[in-house]
Structure 1
Amino acid sequence: MAGHKSVLVIQSDWHDTLRNNDSTAWILRKPLGEKAEYGKIGGSAADDIFTVQSRTERTLSVTHKPSGLTTVFVSPVSTFNRIHSKSVICLDVADGGLGISVCTENKLAVWETETGEVRRSLEGHVFDVYTCRLFPSGIVVLSGGGDMQLRIWDAATGACPVVLKGHTAAVLDTAIVDRGKNIVSVSKDGTAKLWNCGQVKCIATLLSVECPINCCAITDVTGLVDLPAPMEEPDELEHCTSGKLLLVGCEDGKVFLVGVESRSVIGSFALGQNVLCVCWASPTVGVIGLSDGQLVAIDAMTPSKRPLSHDSSSPVESMAAYKGGVLVGRRDGLCQFYSLDGTSPFQLTGSDCDPVYKISSDSNNIYTACRDGLIRKYRGRDLNL
């Protein structure tokens, strides 16, 4: 595990505060489990503990001189405040120009990623919606929630032609297989299920455990990992499940690697903390976010686990794969990019200690969902990866 056991934290509105050459912004170094070290940058009141290395239109590079820790802070280019008025708990975007998000008011909204203008609201779930995502086409929405249902929507019309029922508790997360003829869902009922969307049918239960399954992510390891062959002929309703590997995270701290076509567990790990989110940073390397702030890497080729980073004790609320690494949103409002060597050179700013509940990106931009009810948009090129 590389990197420092500490993070730099800057005043959330530094981009506006430092417009005036005489103004200052506070900054601190927060070591894991120790007292924070405060300072100021900008203006005549700046101290010599923190040094500004460079600044562009939307970025600020700062070094903590005693430790050598350097972070590039990135400010949003847009802040959408008219999509939701309450905490935004999930979002997804696609290259087609649409975003989908849901808030604690149970408002499931389709909006334009360029302007933040709401196209329509999708109404039909009886209880809270916990997860939403766009199919690869960018014009079809998948959602799931407390009513134990999965719904598939036409983002253009708002119609909901498909409702999938079979879970016995709330649906917490989903994954889309290839182009989307099949999908996977995980639930508080402790199951991961494989569905056929066109025939509105549950094909199989891929995993069943005795605690809630909080999260899942799917990858294609064809030609990279030899997955077990299925014991029986695959169902005719299955499409593109060969070579697919599902990463599943549970409330009791266990993580499973499941071959989708074979329904077999090829690896399992006990991590000792609640697993809050998972993602695939590469086709064979998964990243696990834990309730104690740890990041753990899972290598599907071995399979094995290794610590990736533990520079913060704040729970990991959200993760998204990004350019060979992972974007991580925390409960204390930090949103960091981590390389797979454990270093964290970039931080997306704007949240003032409000949890970042979800992160998504398209080809050009990154979007975050926050408890303050705002969706923030960042330029991908500002991360300079």
Structure 2
Amino acid sequence: MIKMQQTMRWFGPQDTVNLIDIKQAGATGVVTALHHIPVGEIWTVQEIKNRQEIVRNAGLEWVVVESLPVHEEIKRASGDYLLYIENYKISIKNLAECGIKIITYNFMPILDWVRTDHDFVNQDGSRALLYNKEAFTYFDVFLLKRPNSENSYSIIEKEKALEFGNKLSESDKKLLFRNVLLGLPGSKIDFTAKQILDLLDNYATIDDAKLRENLIFFLSETAPVAEQYGSKLAIHPDDPPFSVLGLPRILSVESDIKAIFEAVPLAANGLCYCTGSLGANPNNDLEKIIDNYGDRIHFLHLRNTIRENESIFRESEHLIGDTKMEVIVEKLIALMNRRKESLPMRPDHGFLHAIEGAREQYPGYSLIGRLKGLAELRGLEMGIAYKLGNPV
């Protein structure tokens, strides 16, 4: 019986969750990246080995890269993008030389992910991430004042957003501004509206079709290199799986996955199967995606969401939400046994529990919440295995 390889994300030596915490949580490996290296520069063998040594000294293995970031100029096919692609190829080769062969990345412009509330209080007092379209609309139209943003929303949507915003204090508005922009790399600093608008201007002429074209070019260059070295590229779906700030979206629904796999039909061109990002769109059939693209799934993000209504979704417990995790895990077990290989998995986005409240944590990445998720997913996997007559 082949089981998932259990990992946790670790943001590096500066992470308030340390490697001993992760090992004691039951993980056997970590998912990390060299965040100190500027985006676009080469990850040298020495830098990779330095990080590997730190991880191994804690009794763990560096299993997956998340992320080897894609420079914004690659996404726009502008400036020095060809140089950055060459650097990316060298980094793939260097990682493979060190035995690290699963590389996660995303192709979302500017923002890696977006939530409007990083401190939503659940009924039990734990805290979670939440996206509220009314809050985001208010941010976009009335706080950021993105040019022509009013054309992105209906009259009713703008009225509801203004009603939402009128209830906010000045400190609430500042917090909303910071929350939305936390998904911007390096966003522990406070960005001004002008800085964000300048970044958005760079994408003024890039629509979905053009961004997809740029992704396919990037993959046509990098996937053959990954294939040559036995490595696998795993693209992360858009989070959330719809346009924000008028930016293009090209990995939100199954047809998007199909398009890039058909354009670059190499096994190295694969998917980070994130049940949270894909599941936030009610039109996505998560089971069908496994059925249709299981051979291209290289890494698993298992988390759950609840759509309260058409405007709000929030992170939920790993086993309780809109996604039937027991069905997903059973299909993944069957997939791994058919492929005869284990897939690395991490429990994505956990709740912040009261016991950790005073400890600085990156939203969604507290230790206890992820430990709980990992334990639940391990138990679910073991229970399914026994049901199938194949104990782990």
TM-score normalised by length of structure 1: 0.24
Structure possessing the higher relative contact order (Cα contacts under 8 Å, 6 or more residues apart) = 2
User: Of Structure 1 and Structure 2, which has the larger fraction of its residues in helix?
Assistant: 2
